[in-house]
Amino acid sequence: MKTLYLLSLVSILSLMSCKQEQPIEIGYSLADTALIPKPLEINPTHKAFGLNSETTISYKGADLKTQAELLQGALKDAFGLNLMVTDQKDSSNSINLAVEIEDTNLEAYRIDINPSLIELKGASVAGVSRGIQTIRQLVSVELVLGRENTRAIPTGTISDKPAMEYRGAMLDVARHFFSVDEVKRYIDQLAYYKINKFHMHLTDDQGWRIEIKSWPKLTTVGGSTEVGGESGGFYTQEEFKDLVAYAADRHIEIIPEVDMPGHTNAASVSYPQLNGNGKTPELYEGMEVGFSTFDTHSEKVYQFIDDVVGEIAAISPSPYFHLGGDESHSTKKEDFIYFINRVSKIVSKHDKKVIGWDEIAHADVPSPAVAQYWASNENASLAAEKGLKVLLSPAKKIYLDMQYDTQSPYGLHWAAYVPVKDAYDWDPYSYASIDESAIFGMEAPLWSETIFDTQSLEYLAFPRVLAVAELAWMPKGTTLWDDFKKRLEAQSHYFKREGINYYASPDINWE
Ligand code: ACM
């Protein structure tokens, strides 16, 4: 993709007669395109489809209308092309969307590109949604010479589906609050790289960010600050539902987390009976961890948790509820186990499955449940032995809040410095000492002690979140750093177009 020779063979004469246009010839093929994640199978045919404002997007079946419109909006925003959307099938200069392939993997899709037509077929609407991201990534950054406002898409076929069913990113909206619009912007960027789960860390010592109608002080008091003394914020339940729907249109599931029994200072400031120590704590704006705990032997606390889980479960369609469970350094081990067991039952009562940080392996959480491996190989092994699935988020590799190096203006380095290569060049299937069958998927967390807006968020997430998107998508043992790096170089076009404040790592020869 570095040097694009877009040579149109169309002569002035044939342009003037304007009946049957000659095929566009381009100096690269479908196999050379900088797709991330890299598709399973690409068969190039060495011509090109010309995308222009006369191209239509046609969809088959009302449930694809939203996808057609999302593609339309993306092409308009990125390239200024105004494509018409129709439910009438077109046979030339059209992108046709349909749910028409059979695959037990519902995210599977196939794209057939020929000079006059692009057909995208998914195994479900989700498959079409993933294929749309591929089409967006295939549109050439340069105009075709000699044709009016036309961009090339190389011809051939792509057959694709992900290896892992759970390909996630997490955002900590508790240490610093991120507005609905800031979160939507990140969701859009994640969708482009086919991430399909978005975990929201909604509560912590520094802030409670989700409205709970039966316990209103959680947000009016507990949501009023954040790290560094800023003014905090929270999502009303209506706003949370709006985020869930926005993500769902992009086939991204939002998983809510309420972190407990530690990381609960903001809750206990709002309702001091929750910590059981008879003291009213103060709002906390620092960055230490491990000092707070709920009273694990208070029925009032379990009533509170029942209300919280119940209200969130009612507005969260995800089958999962994340109960936190990390760094409960102020909770005795036997109390921690008792607490996680009790809260797991509350989560089940509200028809949700448990996800928790890897420490929950010490409790007796009934499967199906998921332990999120962030720090402890032993906890991951114990979880797998107990029949839990393990979600891979090793801090040393894919904590997006780790600094790239000593010069990074944002981030921390308690786990490691994580240059771009380190985030990609490792084997998720052998990293934890667990059987592959226990692997639930991967997730890239982004903690927000040092970030507070879109600019600082993007600096840490981009480009490393692309590494996770690809490691989770491609089949085991097929990822190669040098190959990824070449495709990463071309992402600068997308980053710049979208105004993404990526870290332009000097190790990458950005285009
Ligand atoms: C964590 O980083 N405390 C899960």
Its CATH class, for the domain covering 166-480+487-498, is alpha beta
pLDDT, average across residues 390-415: 98
Which residue owns the Cα nearest ligand 1 atom 1? 326
Which residue owns the Cα nearest ligand 1 atom 2? 374
Q: Where in the chain is the domain with CATH 3.20.20.80?
A: 166-480+487-498
Model-level pTM? 0.96
Give me ligand 1 centre to Cα 323, in Å.
Answer: 12
Which residue owns the Cα nearest ligand 1 atom 3? 326
Please report how the helices 237-249 and 299-315 are oriented relative to each other, as an axis angle in degrees rounded to 10. 50
Give me ligand 1 centre to Cα 419, in Å.
Answer: 20
17 pLDDT tier (thresholds 50, 70, 90): very low
- By most ligand atoms within 8 Å of CB, the mutation choice from 202, 327, 355, 399 for ligand 1 is 327
Task: Pick the atom of ligand 1 nearest to 263's CA.
Answer: 3
For residues 199 and 170, the answer to whether their CB atoms sit within 8 Å is yes
For residues 53 and 82, the answer to whether their CB atoms sit within 8 Å is yes
Catalytic amino acids?
Answer: 327
Give me ligand 1 centre to Cα 168, in Å.
Answer: 16
Give me ligand 1 centre to Cα 39, in Å.
Answer: 32
Q: For every residue of 227-264, which 3-state class applies, written as one string?
A: HHHCCCCCECHHHHHHHHHHHHHCCCEEEEEEEECCCC
Task: Pick the atom of ligand 1 nearest to 445's CA.
Answer: 2
Query: Using one digit for the tens of pLDDT, what is the confidence trace for 245-263?
Result: 999 999 999 999 999 999 9
For residues 53 and 85, the answer to whether their CB atoms sit within 8 Å is no
Given the structure tokens 């705990």, which residue do they identify? 293
pLDDT at 22: 78
Cα–Cα distance list, 288 to 329, 344, 502 (Å): 12, 27, 28
Give me ligand 1 centre to Cα 321, in Å.
Answer: 16
Query: Using one digit for the tens of pLDDT, what is the confidence trace for 219-254?
Result: 999 999 999 988 999 999 999 999 999 999 999 999
Pocket of ligand 1 (CB under 6 A): 326-327, 357, 374
Of 10 and 306, the structure prediction assigns the larger pLDDT to 306
Q: For every residue of 39-72, which 3-state class applies, written as one string?
A: CCEEEEEEEEEEECCCCEEEECCHHHHHHHHHHH
pLDDT, average across residues 187-212: 98
User: What integer best gives the mean pLDDT of the chain?
Assistant: 95
Task: Pick the atom of ligand 1 nearest to 357's CA.
Answer: 4
Query: Using one digit for the tens of pLDDT, what is the confidence trace for 281-303?
Result: 999 999 999 999 999 999 999 99
- By most ligand atoms within 8 Å of CB, the mutation choice from 392, 418, 447 for ligand 1 is 447
Give me ligand 1 centre to Cα 477, in Å.
Answer: 28
Task: Pick the atom of ligand 1 nearest to 399's CA.
Answer: 2
Task: Pick the atom of ligand 1 nearest to 289's CA.
Answer: 3
User: What is the CA angle 325-173-279, rounded to 5?
Assistant: 55
For residue 63, pLDDT beyond 50:
yes
For residues 180 and 242, the answer to whether their CB atoms sit within 8 Å is yes
Which residue owns the Cα nearest ligand 1 atom 4? 326
Q: In what order do the strands lie in the sheet with 94-99?
A: 6-8, 24-26, 41-51, 151-160, 109-114, 117-122, 94-99, 56-59, 84-86
- By most ligand atoms within 8 Å of CB, the mutation choice from 357, 399, 443, 448 for ligand 1 is 357
For residue 470, pLDDT beyond 90:
yes
pLDDT, average across residues 110-134: 98
Give me ligand 1 centre to Cα 500, in Å.
Answer: 26
Main-chain phi, psi angles of 230, to 5 degrees: -75, 180
Neighbouring C-beta atoms of residue 171, cutoff 10 Å: 26
Q: Where in the chain is the domain with CATH 3.30.379.10?
A: 21-160
Q: For 21-160, CATH number?
A: 3.30.379.10
